[in-house]
Structure 1
Amino acid sequence: MLLLRKGGIAEGRGGFMASHSDFWLLPTRFHAQSVRIRPEFRFLVEEGERAESEEAELQFVAKLLWSRFLGDWESVRRLIVFQLWEEELLRERFAYGAKEGLHLLLVRVYQSQKVVCPWEGSLAGCRSWVTVRHPWSDRLVPVVSDEEFVPREREVRIAAMAG
């Protein structure tokens, strides 16, 4: 899985950093912009799914394989086919703030036994990292097989490094 991050307001002047090598993927309630997802991926979004819930369901763990800051638009543009956001949204995030660019994180996603935790204010807002005090299971199952993941990782590396 490919993540493109600008960073959150709560990250301060230092901006975004890949602070953890493995982390829960937290279902977010902030910047929920389902209409800005490429049409072929909109089926993944369940409208209003978590709007009323007082709990967060955690089921997927990401393990960071590598990251890189992309300071030129062409590098980001080459990666559009590997992610779900529309180009216009990526352009906006790329240009936002004093420094143009986006952080690329390539992660391998694993399924854990589901954990349900209370939705707290500390989970909300414009931030990349929040503290969740619930461990994932010892047995993690890759969401995508090695046969699918390895060639896709190679394609992303080539696209990110070209130019």
Structure 2
Amino acid sequence: MTYSALKEWDTQSRLLTAGSLSLLVRKGGIMETHEGFEVEHRSFLLYPTFLHQNPAELQPQYQSLLRDDPQPGVIGFPALAEVVAVHRVESLDRALRLEPLQALTGAAIGRRFHYRNRPWVHALLLRVRPLVEPLVLPESAGMLGCVSWVPLGDVTVRAGDPVVPEDVLEARRLELEQLLA
């Protein structure tokens, strides 16, 4: 099957794969189109990246999870993610309300919100299913750069059960919607 992967900080990818969190706040990389990040895929592999991880932008309880790349030049895709809900948040106040549901600090959310003078972010609630066997690929030239989406082509993956039970994920979805109301 043909898959794409979403580049996300290694720390956040591990938190999602462990089920500690289910929400990402995204804006896009410097090489994105002029419109910025869009939710191009509803199902994708998590691509843990070490590029631009910034301890100052992670909430203190997650900073100890920062690590150096254990295998430079090789990408281990740990999980399949499915978009349960996506919200384009165009109010800074509402965006900042998301801080308790994800790993970034309020200041980092604010910086992403205002990035490129385009005031908005996307909030993605994800159902994450760890791969039964992690997909490991050499990092190719096509994977490099500050982009969000990386086409992987035809790869074989087998995902296990979701790390967050459906009732808990539904509670997280309702909390997200209440915070954005």
TM-score greater than 0.5 by the shorter chain: yes
Q: Which runs of 4+ in 1 moved over 6 A?
A: none
Matched AA of 1:87: G
With 146-155 and 79-88 compared, the bigger mean Cα shift is at 146-155
Note if 1:60 corresponds to 2:79: yes
Contact kept in structure 1, 2:85 and 2:173, CA below 8 Å: no
Matched AA of 1:102: V
Contact kept in structure 1, 2:50 and 2:69, CA below 8 Å: no
Contact kept in structure 2, 1:29 and 1:124, CA below 8 Å: no
CA distance in 2, matches of 1:5, 1:127: 12
Note if 1:42 corresponds to 2:60: no
Q: Matched residue of 1:26: which SS?
A: strand
CA distance in 2, matches of 1:35, 1:73: 20
Shift of the alpha carbon at 1:56? 0.7
CA distance in 1, matches of 2:65, 2:152: 24
Q: If the length of structure 1 is used for normalisation, what is the TM-score?
A: 0.88
Aligned length: 158
Note if 1:75 corresponds to 2:94: yes
Q: If the length of structure 2 is used for normalisation, what is the TM-score?
A: 0.80
CA distance in 1, matches of 2:80, 2:88: 22
Q: Which residue of 2 aligns with 1:117?
A: 137
CA distance in 2, matches of 1:98, 1:77: 17
CA RMSD of aligned residues (A): 1.6
CA distance in 2, matches of 1:10, 1:107: 24
CA distance in 1, matches of 2:166, 2:65: 23
Richer in strand (by share): 2
Shift of the alpha carbon at 1:23? 0.3
CA distance in 2, matches of 1:144, 1:15: 29
Shift of the alpha carbon at 1:131? 1.1
Contact kept in structure 2, 1:2 and 1:104, CA below 8 Å: yes
Q: Which residue of 1 aligns with 2:120?
A: 101
Query: Deviation per CA, 1:55-110, whole angstroms, max 9, x where unpaired?
Result: 11112111011212111111111111000011111111111113111111111111
